[in-house]
Every structure is written in structure tokens, then in C-alpha cells.
Structure 1
Amino acid sequence: MTPRDASDDASDTPDETPDASRWSDLDRPPLNATALRRALLREGELWTSLDVVPATGSTNTDLAARADELPEGAVLVAEEQSSGRGRLDRRWTAPARSGLFFSVLLKPGADVPVERWGWLPLLTGVAVATGLSRAAGVDTALKWPNDLLVTVGGEERKAGGILAERAGTAGAGVVVGVGINVTLRADELPVPGAGSLALAGAATTDRDPLLRAVLRSLDRWYTDWRDAQGDPAASGLQETYAAGCATLGRKVRAELPGDRSITGEAVAVDGDGRLVLATGDGVQEPVGAGDIVHVRGV
């Protein structure tokens, strides 16, 4: 792991009161914005700017508001979010500096047909899982479409989530938000099914190298996908997502809009990123939106 840069000084973070000192929780030091920029902002690569703020409502909301003025590759990181959102407008909250909460601005433009942009949250899931597995030494899996799972005490737990939203004039960009529980302790879990990298036995919980690993992984996957004109097969994305998807091969219940539900075995992720369910009557039905509940292993 790359050590924290010792050249960081107090000028990288706003002044705080003694009761809210940057070292008030020694297990949760602040991110080093200077070192992150030096490591990630390089000419010819995806990331063009990186800002770390002590707190905000939602990094997705903040970045989306500036989507027209910012170039592709802008990254906004918050040490704490008060109004973080997941899919279906679910709230995402966690103690300050206990995780990685960030959003990135992507503009596939004419390189990728708009109908393939729906792969971006799945692509981000693959990139995050790959980066964390390498940097933290934790086996991670993906629950369709965009939950990150780790194993805690022999049980699958949700340790992260991804939310992609169109942004900018005429929806010319996509803001992808990522939330990952890093040092969340058992008594801090918001729900019984939640987890964190620390609870899963991560080799490191230093957020600086973890964030660098995730963003570098996202750069590689996004660049390959864009170079392939968003083709999930040609870029290797579809195969890799399926290999790391804990939903496939299981009996699941898809809770769909309009109070409708389907139960069946998840057998594939199709070329449009939809989850294909084989129902009891022999029909294969693709699901493009909805909440997926893992019923049992198959």
C-alpha cells in the first residue's frame, strides 16, 4: 500500500473548532487532497480535477449542478454526506470519514450510443470491486444492479452502492456516485444487512490508497468501454460483470414498478445490462429496473 504523504499540512483542510479537530478520531484521519491530486491528475488520463470537501448534502447533487461548466473527469469527494442517496431515493448516511463518498462526472458523448449508457453503473460496480479487491484484499461481489457485497461472519452484507444520474444540458453527462463503508463498526451499522471493509477483514482501511485504487480501476474500465463504443461484450465488461455478480445462479424476487413482482432464477445479464430471470413457467423475462431480493442460493 502507498503510505500517506507526509507533506500534507493543515492548509489542505478548513479550520475546525477544537471539538471537531481533524484528528478527533485517530482511526479516521482525513483524506490527503494534495497527494490524491498528485497521484491521479495526469495529462492524457481521465481524471481532470479532484476536490475534497469536509461535508455536503450530496456529492451527486453538487457535481450535477456544475456538469455544464466542468470537463469530463471531475471528481468530488466528501468526508461526510448528510443527504446521500441510493437507488429508489433511499438515504445513505454514515459517520464522518468512515467511508468513501464521492461522485465522478462522465461525458461519453458521441463515442458511445446513448442506449449503452445504462451500463455505466454496472461498469462502476466492476471497477470498484476490482479496485477494492486489489487494494484492501477483501473479496467483493456485485448484487445486480449496483450494490457492493462483502462477507462478514459468513453472511453477505452490503458495504457500498452506486447511483448514476443524467446531468447537464440535455443530459449530455452522467454523474456516478459511489458510497463505500470502510471503517464502519458493528454498533454503527444503519441496518442489520449492512457491512464494511473493516468488518470484512480488510488488509488496510487507509482511505487514500483505497480511493486511488478505485479511481484508477474506474479509469481503465471506462476507457476500454468507451474505446469499444460502449459495447459490453467487446470491452469485456459483460463477461466480467457476470463473473462477479452474486445475483446470478440464485433464486430472486424482482419487485417492479407498479407493485408487481417476479420470482425466478437469475440466469444472465443481457447485452442491455438487464437481469434475465427464468420463471417457474419456463419464461425468461428481462428486468431493467426494480429492487432485487436474494431469496436463496441455487
Structure 2
Amino acid sequence: MAQVETVRGSIDTSALGRTYMHEHIFILNTEMQQNFPEEWGDEDDRVADAVAKLRALAAQGVQTIVDPTVVGLGRYIPRVQRIAEQVPELNIVVATGCYTFTDVPFYFQHRGPALNAVMGAEVPDPMVDLFVKDITVGIADTGVRAALLKCAIDAEGLRPGVERVMRAVAKAHHLTGAPITVHTHPESKTALDVKRVMCDEEGVKPERIVLGHSGDSTDLDHLTELAESGFILGMDRFGLNVNVSFEERADTLVEMCRRGYAEQMVLSHDANCFFDWMDPALKDMMPGFDYLHIEKEVLPYVREQGVTEEQITAMLFEVPRRYFENVSTY
């Protein structure tokens, strides 16, 4: 049986159990937190709060979360390790990659392909080697290995920096076998850009890619087109009922199950324990946006609408396991 990396080490994919495929623990602007730490407060208190919230999630029967927090989102593995050791009943799977809607981080702007014109030849992208190292050796000196790759494309579209990261992620995928998750903006149909760049041009198979935030769309024909192409759809923002209501999200899931795509969808919240990209008052206005919403509200609702236990098992157990089955081991 295949193995998958977690924060506490390798496990058999059969041990993933009930899996939420897109949850964060902390999303931070690290530079702001280091220089203006007042809002963050006490490190031990933040860790204790995360431990309590993740224990509550595990008490619902969730055995694994995938945390796609990468460069650009404030990834800091030693803190996640502290939390994982205190919640041994929950597997935490982490990612490598780069999160940007526009340009690559300044660190990369004058390295790699940016030097092609100066050098008069194609210069390899250093991102590829960094991503591969995170997967095959480990992240920094933590010993924790990433199990998947992450990139993003949002309403800004296929900006040059976004495309560069996409191609670096695709190359690292081919070198490691690690699967991919992509933050997408369904309203702009950016998954079609993912298909062209990563699949048609870079040769990644659609079934190795989760299209994150597909559940932000109620365009059933568009979602059906993506599922027919082979992608896994991330119905992963339950509780974030801002532009899409609870009923719209849940009814979209119900209809996609009715159309026969339960085996190409995964569920999650995209929740977190602390998120410094918005005023705390805004998060207070979304009381249902937490790790517990799917079990408490979503599953009872979709069951009433005809989604079967077999379909729920597919989305929470079978699709995540299949997604990680082909991860290369070293």
C-alpha cells in the first residue's frame, strides 16, 4: 500500500480515514507578525487554541486534514509540529509551493527564468528544486516532508508570475509524483487556464489536480465540464457563506452527486485558527466558518436531499486516499 507524509511521519494511505482536503491552521503575513506582534499575542496561547479546535474536529471522527499553507501564506512547520504532537489522533498533511495572484515573491524576481534574456539561454527555475527538496528531503531542518504541491490563480487571471509558479509546480510534480492543489476563482473560470497550462502544455494528468474552491460556483455546467475532464473538484469552503449562500453551496454539491460526480469531489471548509489578512471583526461576522460545520450542518442537509452514505464515503474517504496513492516515496 502507498505511503503519504504527515507532520509526524509516513503513514499508509489506508490510515488517512475521513479526510478534509483543504484546511489551514494559521494564515499569516509573517513579516507583519514579526514586526507588529500585538494582534498575534502569546505564542503558547495561539498554539493551545489551535490544539483545542483540532481536538474538537478529531472528536467528530475526522482523522486527517490537508493544510495547503505554503510560501505566501506564512507556512512555519515548527509551530505546526508543536500542535501535531498534542493532537495525535489527527494526521496533518502539509504542502509545498508558492501562493500568489500576481507576481512571484521578490526573492525569485531576479533568479531563474527572469535571467533568460541576460544570459542568452534558458535558466532553470530555482523554485522547482526548492519544491522537490521539500517533498524528497524535508522542509528546512524539521524533517517534515510535504506531500503535495500548491499554487494559485484568482480573478487577476494568468499573470506571468502565476504562470511561472504553475509551471514550476508541474515540473516538481513530474519529478516527485506528488499531487497538486490549485486555488482557483470559479467565477472567472480560471480552471480552464489550469487545464491549458498544467495539463495540455505541461502534461499533468487532471486526476492528479484538486481544483480548489470549485464550490464557490453554482455554474453546474462549468463544474460538470471540469469533472468530465478528470479533475477533482474542491467543494471546500463550507461555512464561508459570503458570495455563495449555505443553500447554494450545499445544493450544488447535491446536484453534482446526482449527476454522478461524487467520486470526483472532496469536502472541506478552508477554515483556520488564526488569519491575519482581515480585520478580526469580519471573521466574527461568519460564526459558522469553522472546522465543525460540515459534520454539524452540511452532511445532515445533503442527506435529506438524497446524497447517499456511499457518496459521502467517496468524498471523505476514497477520493482523498486515491489522490495520494501515487505519491513517490524516497
- Pick the TM interval, shorter chain: under 0.3
Higher relative strand content: 1
Which structure has more relative contact order (CA 8 Å, sep 6+)? It is 2
More helix by share: 2
TM-score, normalised with respect to structure 2 = 0.25
Q: What's the TM-score, normalizing by structure 1?
A: 0.26
